[in-house]
């Protein structure tokens, strides 16, 4: 074989390498494997082109060019072959007799195709043999050291490398030349690396480039193995956990089956998760519930924290997050329900119907909260129940009487033992819907102490602009209260804090007249108590005189609560009588109740009907007062005695009432020489002491409306002129004798009616309030409108004996 050396450029770049030009064309043998120098591979040739090429190589000295390809060996063109391959030699060959040849071929050096010669049977090529780069410097030494280091790491992590290759790589040392090192490593990695990567190594002619390429391959493979190991570890752990859980669940089912329990039922944790997802909570609440459920799974079952978390999740899932009732508001039906449930109360009913009409039009009313204010027993709570019935809402009641802890409204934080949500959240859970009618009863009875002010906490609850994000301290998530219809009740308006009162629309529900009480007893209370006590409604009759006797002699109230109680007492005694008749087999007779039989059943009358004085008296004037229980009649007494001109006040009077008495005395002294009703010498006031007493001394009394009554009583005591017994009065007095308007006119007038007092003095400015008095009441009374004290004395004091 004739060879000659020359220097040839590899490409247009500045890199050059020495080549040896082979003058004889070499047969080209395509291969799916990459042949490296110093590598021996056994081949089996059966295709016609391969057999012809190997025979030609054997006949011409045994040399050939092996070029790798990515295409199918059966249909190859020169463009399908890589440009750089391996100049090789046939070491041994055997003719198998069936036209195929087995041969051992070894790689000698890299070679580059110059051009191809197309034969009829196989492909030939003129090539340039690329000798090995024998350069050696510090950089190459460092690259060799790095390559050896990464090779060691590679061998520690690789698993699918053949044993022969693994052992061969293990024996490699840094004593080999860079060319031998790279060729040996490439030879052993031939079965491991992708053919594309093998070809890149083969084409790296420069030794530094080849070393760097192998280092990159090792580093990349090490990283891949590391990631695979991590993934495999995670998968193994996950699969192991799943298998363990599956095994334990199966064991648990078997144990439950042995215990006679249904293994198909969900576990507590699975059941809780299902309930959380089914509750349709807000996103914030669901996230919180699932987070607490994960905590519950990780805590030992014997831990005290388990009960706390379980209780918290139970509260979250039991709240009506997405449950609501259909609000079907029919104004005619609502009016019918209000008339069925309540007699009289025309103004409150009218305002309620207006409220419901607006609610129907806007669907979601962001308006004032209704507040029913009135004496006990007038029907405030039952009105709220009727509204709930008319709107189709669930009804829930919360009594605020005696509440003094802010946590009652907002709940306790979960850090406390036995903590619970506030009563607002408890009420919604009880209502089982997110849009109930929520009655806050006795809102005027709240108080405050060192634990906070519950009325301040109610400000958020009753504010339509804020309550859509009400946050209970226990739940720690927002709950929307904007769909809840809040109604509050109270007995005394002044006891409701002003900021809270500002958020509510006040609807005053005054006391009932005697006529209204009579009708309520006939239409509602008597049928109810007859049924409750097992009496025949048809055969038990209350006469009008019986009802009026109960109202006048056994009750004295603005509402009808005690009236119902006394009727119930009568029914129980009648029931006892009926049972005795059955036992003695007496013939069944109807029971008719009159005033006499009522007194026999109820005993001695508790009140004297008509509290007016029986005769005109000196120093005694009848006043009218407004209390939490409605209107009431006060007999104010005044007397004089020798002294030094002092004023004594008794009867547990408040500061305002005491100041009114002092103002009245100052008025009297200033008018001593002016008014004919007084006409007293000035020294009278320095020689006499005046004592004013208001009976029922254990009951606190306050307010300015008794001013004219105390002035009248003092004038009567000083002048020894009697006051009319059939005259009641109310009004505030000033130092100049002006009579100022007062409140609670209707309640006070009803109290006068109950006391059978026909003449009433009221301030001139209260004339407008007389429109609230029922016509049947106005007919019975004479109203005297006054604007100064002179007129009061003219009307009340009897000048001639």
Structure tokens at 395: 């009804």
748 classed as catalytic? yes
Integer Cα distance of 44 and 96 in angstroms: 10
Structure tokens at 720: 């020894």
Strand partners, 28: 65
Integer Cα distance of 591 and 536 in angstroms: 9
Helix (H) or strand (E) holding 384: helix 380-391
Integer Cα distance of 374 and 559 in angstroms: 9
**Who contacts 566 (Cβ-Cβ below 8 Å, separation ≥6)?**
550, 554, 555, 602
CB 692, CB 635: distance < 8 Å: no
Reduced to 3 states (helix: H, G, I; strand: E, B; else coil), residue 190 is coil
Integer Cα distance of 787 and 791 in angstroms: 8
Crossing angle of helices 707-719 and 789-796, in 10° steps, is 60
Q: What's the Rg (C-alpha) of the chain?
A: 55
Check residue 701 and report its DSSP letter: B
Reduced to 3 states (helix: H, G, I; strand: E, B; else coil), residue 54 is helix
**Who contacts 391 (Cβ-Cβ below 8 Å, separation ≥6)?**
327, 328, 329, 334, 356, 359, 437, 485
Integer Cα distance of 42 and 105 in angstroms: 6
Catalytic residue among 721, 725, 746, 748: 748
CA distances from 501 to 77, 276, 281, 282, 492 (A): 98, 39, 33, 32, 12
Integer Cα distance of 166 and 751 in angstroms: 113
Integer Cα distance of 160 and 224 in angstroms: 13
112 classed as catalytic? no
Number of other CB atoms surrounding residue 182 within 10 Å: 24
Reduced to 3 states (helix: H, G, I; strand: E, B; else coil), residue 216 is helix
Check residue 706 and report its DSSP letter: T
Catalytic residue among 165, 186, 705, 716: 705
Strand partners, 4: 21
Integer Cα distance of 247 and 457 in angstroms: 52
Which residues are designated catalytic? 705, 748
């Amino acid at each position: 074989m004739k060879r000659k050396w020359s220097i040839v450029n590899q490409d247009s770049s500045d890199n050059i390498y020495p080549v040896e030009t082979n003058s004889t064309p070499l047969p080209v043998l395509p291969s799916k494997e990459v042949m490296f120098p110093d590598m021996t591979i056994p081949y089996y040739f059966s295709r016609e082109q391969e057999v012809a090429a190997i025979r030609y190589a054997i006949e011409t000295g045994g040399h050939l060019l092996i070029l790798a390809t990515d295409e199918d060996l059966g249909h190859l063109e020169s463009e399908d072959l890589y440009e750089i391959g391996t100049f090789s030699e046939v070491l041994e060959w055997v003719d198998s007799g069936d036209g195929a040849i087995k041969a051992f071929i070894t790689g000698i050096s890299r070679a580059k195709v110059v051009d191809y010669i197309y034969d009829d049977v196989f492909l030939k090529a003129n090539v340039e043999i690329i000798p090995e780069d024998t350069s050696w410097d510090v950089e190459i030494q460092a690259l060799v050291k790095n390559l050896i280091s990464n090779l060691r790491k590679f061998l520690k992590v690789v698993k699918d490398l053949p044993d022969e290759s693994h052992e061969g790589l293990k024996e490699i040392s840094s004593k080999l030349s860079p060319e031998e090192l790279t060729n040996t490593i490439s030879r052993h990695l031939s079965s491991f690396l992708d053919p594309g990567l093998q070809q890149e190594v083969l084409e790296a002619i420069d030794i530094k480039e080849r070393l760097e390429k192998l280092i990159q391959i090792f580093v990349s493979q090490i990283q891949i193995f590391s990631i695979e190991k991590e993934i495999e570890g995670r998968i193994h752990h996950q699969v192991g956990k799943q298998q363990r859980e599956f095994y334990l669940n199966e064991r648990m089912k078997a144990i439950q089956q042995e215990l006679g329990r249904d293994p198909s039922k969900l576990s507590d944790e699975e059941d809780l998760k299902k309930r959380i997802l089914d509750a349709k909570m807000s996103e914030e609440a669901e996230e919180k519930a699932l987070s607490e459920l994960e905590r519950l799974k990780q805590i030992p079952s014997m831990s005290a924290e388990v009960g706390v978390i379980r209780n918290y999740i139970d509260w979250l899932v039991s709240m009506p997050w997405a449950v609501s009732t259909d609000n079907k508001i029919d104004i005619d039906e609502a009016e019918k329900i209000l008339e069925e449930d309540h007699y009289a109360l025309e103004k409150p009913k009218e305002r309620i119907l207006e409220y419901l009409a607006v609610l129907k039009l806007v669907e979601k009313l962001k308006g004032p909260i209704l507040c029913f204010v009135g004496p006990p027993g007038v029907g405030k709570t039952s009105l709220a129940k009727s509204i709930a019935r008319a709107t189709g809402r669930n009804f829930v009641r919360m009594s605020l009487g005696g509440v003094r802890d802010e946590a009652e409204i907002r709940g306790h934080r979960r850090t406390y033992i036995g903590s619970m949500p506030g009563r607002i959240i408890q009420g919604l859970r009880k209502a089982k819907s997110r849009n109930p009618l929520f009655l806050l009863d006795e809102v005027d009875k709240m108080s405050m102490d060192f634990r906070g002010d519950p009325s301040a906490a109610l400000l958020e609850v009753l504010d339509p602009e804020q309550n859509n994000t009400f946050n209970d301290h226990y739940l720690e998530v927002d709950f929307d209260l904007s769909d809840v219809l809040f109604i509050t009740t109270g007995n005394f308006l002044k006891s409701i804090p002003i900021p809270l009162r500002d958020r509510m629309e006040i609807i005053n529900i005054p006391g009932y007249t005697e006529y209204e009480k009579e009708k309520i007893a006939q239409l509602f209370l008597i049928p109810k108590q007859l049924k409750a006590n097992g009496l025949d409604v048809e055969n038990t009759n209350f006469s009008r005189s019986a009802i009026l006797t109960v109202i006048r002699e056994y009750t004295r109230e603005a509402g009808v609560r005690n009236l119902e109680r006394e009727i119930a007492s009568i029914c129980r005694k009648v029931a006892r009588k009926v049972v005795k008749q059955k036992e003695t087999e007496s013939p069944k007779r109807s029971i008719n109740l009159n005033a006499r039989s009522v007194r026999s059943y109820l005993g001695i009358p508790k009140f004297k009907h008509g509290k007016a004085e029986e005769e005109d008296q000196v120093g005694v004037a009848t006043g009218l007062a407004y209390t939490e229980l409605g209107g009431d009649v006060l007999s104010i007494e005044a007397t004089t005695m020798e002294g030094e001109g002092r004023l004594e006040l008794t009867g547990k009077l408040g500061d305002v009432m005491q100041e009114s008495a002092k103002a009245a005395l100052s008025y009297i002294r200033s008018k001593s020489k002016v008014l004919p009703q007084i006409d007293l010498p000035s020294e009278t006031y320095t020689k006499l002491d005046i004592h004013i007493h208001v009976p029922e001394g254990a009951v606190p009394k306050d307010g300015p409306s008794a001013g004219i009554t105390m002035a009248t009583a003092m004038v009567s005591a000083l002048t020894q002129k009697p006051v009319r017994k059939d005259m009641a009065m109310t009004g505030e007095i000033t130092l100049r004798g002006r009579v100022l308007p007062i409140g609670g006119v209707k309640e006070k007038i009803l109290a006068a009616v109950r006391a059978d007092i026909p003449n009433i003095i009221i301030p001139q400015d209260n004339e407008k309030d007389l429109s609230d008095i029922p016509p049947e009441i106005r007919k019975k009374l004479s109203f005297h409108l006054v604007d100064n004290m002179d007129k009061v004395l003219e009307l009340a004091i009897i000048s001639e004996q």
